[in-house]
């Protein structure tokens, strides 16, 4: 018998960390556009900061991030200076010192920064922005390059949450993705963090990796639970060698097929829920007392370029090479080239290379897609009214969902969509029905599960 689920598993759709998604950004949004958008910000509304550190000590073959391998520290320290300069330029173009409630450091690997530079950067940001008393500061951390001194610097800088890259604990899988990281290395860093008083710890796990099997995944989740994290991010490996050439080093024959991937995701999710974690969206799990679980139950879960978040700020300012920002008017992205980014900032010009201004239809569809991606009961008619549109505006898109009702992924009550527990892994696929850009251009995406 044909399994309809197999068709869903092989669908290739965006991850919807924005709408419209990044492949549809264009050069019509410039540095001058960004400066005008910054000047129009409401100075009392909170903003978030994202800082991109595009350096690593070695390349992990599965990686989909923008990063560069460096053997010397000078390029990293020089980059830190440019980051501070950009932060000053952005702050100067805003109407006042903007109130900051969330800060996220990503990469690459922010642990490439030395402790003194880390402290200096955080002090510099506080001079340029108005950090609120309850600001959450999160850092992506590579245990292989983390020292006790670095953990002390995180504490001194007021870091409240850390996300640790793990992927899998199995040595064979680690060899296949060029990320050898023994369990005791991760455990040691977790212990250092707790000793320093940083107890909000997320672990990044992956399924669908080369040589990975269901037994691997069962062992992976069991070991992760030994570390007692407050959150787990369970990502499906996105094999996109046409975008990331280093992924060609992965043996495609060793990658699990769509049904195996689904089985790996399902068993991991079942184990995490059995351990008491609350399922968040399609790829996160949180301790019931964690702020993300609380936001999920209160229907206040958000989604941005870092994935699921408790950050409800409308404005996210991206700093660094390739960083993306969100403003009420639209999206902006910095120059990806580190050299080009540095040249722009040192010349006194904001380093924007592309972006997109949001129209009324974009805003409506973004709200529908975000609601679905956050697992909320989505009343499409109400959202249409809130955007000044007819309740029937998205009826054609609702009809696209009819097969998903038959397959048990969703329930439909008129113009209201309820995603079932069975449908949770397919949130990206369900949301894609409302993506007006999906069939435009030549953008290629990873599989839905």
Report the CATH number that the domain containing residue 250 is assigned in CATH.
3.80.30.20
Q: Tell me: do 11 and 57 sit in the same domain.
A: no
Q: Mean pLDDT throughout 441-445?
A: 53
Among 315, 340, 356, give the residue marking a domain's end. Answer: 356
Regarding whether 90 and 14 lie in a shared domain, the answer is no
Give the β-pairing of 161-167 and 200-207: parallel
Same domain, 91 and 224: yes
Q: Per-residue pLDDT averaged across 241-264, rounded? A: 89
Same domain, 226 and 345: yes
Query: What's the average model confidence in pLDDT over 260-288?
Result: 96
Q: Are residues 283 and 241 in the same domain?
A: yes
Residue 305 scores a pLDDT above 80: yes
Count of structural domains, the chain: 2
The predicted-structure confidence for 90-147, as pLDDT tens digits, reads as follows 999 999 899 999 999 998 889 899 988 988 999 999 999 999 999 999 999 999 988 8
> Across residues 193-206, what is the average pLDDT?
96
- From 190-199, 268-277, 433-442, the region with the lowest mean pLDDT: 433-442
Q: Return the CATH number at 439.
A: 1.10.10.920
209 and 294, same domain (yes or no): yes
Q: Which of 315, 339, 356 is the last residue of a domain?
A: 356
CA 209 to chain centroid, in Å, comes to 19
For range 246-271, the mean pLDDT: 92
pLDDT at 3 > cutoff 70: no
Domain of 337, in residue numbers: 21-356
Residue 9 has a pLDDT of 59
Output the CA–CA distances (angstroms, integers) from residue 205 to 179, 209, 300, 304, in the order listed: 13, 10, 24, 19
Q: Given this model, what pLDDT does residue 303 score?
A: 93
Domain boundary among 356, 374, 392: 356
Is the same domain home to 217 and 253? yes
Higher pLDDT, 42 or 376: 42
Average the pLDDT over 220-226 and give the result. Answer: 97
pLDDT at residue 261 tops 50: yes
pLDDT value of position 449: 67
Quick one: 151 and 10 in the same domain? Answer: no
What's the per-residue H, E or C state across the chain?
CCCHHHHHHHCECCCCCCCCCHHHCECCCCHHHHHHHHHCCCCCCCEEEEEEECEECCCCCCCCCCCEECCCCHHHHHHHHHHHHHHHHHHHHCCCCCEEEEEEEEECCHHHCCHHHHHHHHHHHHHHCEEEEEEEEEEEECHHHCCHHHHHHHHHCCCCEEEEEEECCCHHHHHHCCCCCCHHHHHHHHHHHHHCCCCEEEEEEEECCCCCCHHHHHHHHHHHHHCCCCEEEEEECCCCCCCCHHHHHCCHHHCCCHHHHHHHHHHHHHHHHHCCCEEECCCEEECCCCHHHHHHHCCCCEEECCEEECCCCCEEEEECCCCEEEECCEEEEECCCHHHHHHHHHCCCCCEEEEEECCHHHHHHHHHHHHHHCCCCEEHHHHHHHCCCCCCCCHHHHHHCHHHHHCCCEEEECCEEEECCCCHHHHHHHHHHHCCCCCCCCCCCCECC
pLDDT value at 1 more than 60: no
Which tokens in the block code for residue 122? 């955080």
Residue 268 has what pLDDT? 97
- 447 pLDDT band, cuts 50/70/90, is low
Cα 149-169-113 angle, rounded to 5 deg = 25
Same domain, 348 and 397: no
In angstroms, the CA 9 to CA 19 distance is: 22
Same domain, 114 and 234: yes
pLDDT of residue 349: 96
Whether residue 213 sits in one domain with residue 152: yes
Mean pLDDT of 178-193: 96
- Is the pLDDT at 445 greater than 90, yes or no? no
Higher pLDDT, residue 315 or 109: 315
pLDDT at 440: 52
328 lies in the same domain as 406: no
């Amino acid at each position: 018998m044909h399994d309809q689920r197999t068709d869903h598993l092989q669908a290739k759709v965006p991850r919807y960390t924005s709408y419209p998604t990044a492949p549809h950004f264009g050069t019509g949004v410039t540095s001058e556009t960004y400066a005008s958008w910054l000047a129009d910000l409401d100075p009392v509304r909170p903003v978030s900061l994202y800082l991109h550190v595009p350096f690593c000590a070695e390349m992990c073959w599965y990686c989909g991030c923008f990063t560069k391998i460096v053997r010397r520290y000078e390029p990293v320290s020089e980059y830190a200076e440019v980051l501070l300069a950009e932060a000053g330029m952005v702050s100067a173009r805003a109407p006042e010192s903007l109130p900051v409630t969330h800060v996220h450091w990503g990469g690459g690997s922010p642990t490439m920064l030395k402790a003194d530079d880390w402290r200096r950067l955080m002090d510099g940001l506080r001079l340029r922005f108005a950090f609120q008393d309850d600001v959450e500061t999160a850092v992506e951390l590579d245990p292989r390059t983390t020292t006790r001194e670095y953990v002390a610097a995180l504490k001194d800088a007021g870091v409240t949450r850390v996300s640790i890259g793990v992927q899998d604990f199995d040595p064979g899988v680690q060899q296949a993705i060029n990320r050898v990281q023994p369990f005791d290395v991760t455990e040691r860093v977790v212990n250092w963090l707790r000793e320093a008083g940083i107890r909000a710890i997320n672990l990044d796990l992956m399924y669908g990796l080369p040589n990975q099997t269901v037994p691997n995944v069962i062992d992976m989740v069991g070991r992760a639970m030994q570390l007692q994290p407050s959150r787990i991010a369970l990502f499906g490996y996105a094999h996109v060698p046409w975008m990331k050439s280093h992924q060609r080093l992965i043996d495609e024959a060793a990658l699990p097929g769509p049904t195996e991937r689904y089985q790996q995701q399902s068993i991991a999710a079942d184990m995490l829920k059995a351990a008491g974690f609350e399922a968040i969206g399609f790829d996160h799990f949180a301790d019931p007392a964690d702020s993300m679980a609380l936001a999920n139950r209160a229907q206040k879960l958000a989604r941005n370029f870092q994935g699921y978040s408790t950050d409800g700020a409308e404005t996210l300012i991206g700093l660094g090479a390739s960083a993306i920002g969100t403003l009420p008017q639209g999206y902006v992205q910095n120059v990806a080239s580190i050299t080009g980014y540095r040249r722009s900032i040192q010349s006194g010009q904001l380093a924007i290379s592309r972006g997109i201004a949001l129209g009324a239809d974009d805003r409506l569809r973004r709200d529908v897609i975000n609601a679905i991606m956050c697992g909320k009961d989505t009343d499409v008619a109400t959202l249409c009214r809130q955007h000044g549109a007819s309740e029937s505006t998205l009826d054609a898109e609702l009809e696209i969902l009819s097969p998903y009702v038959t397959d048990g992924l969703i329930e439909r009550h008129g113009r209201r969509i309820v995603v079932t527990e069975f449908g949770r892994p397919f949130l990206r696929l369900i949301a894609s029905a409302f993506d007006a850009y999906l069939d435009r251009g030549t953008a290629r995406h990873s599989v839905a599960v």
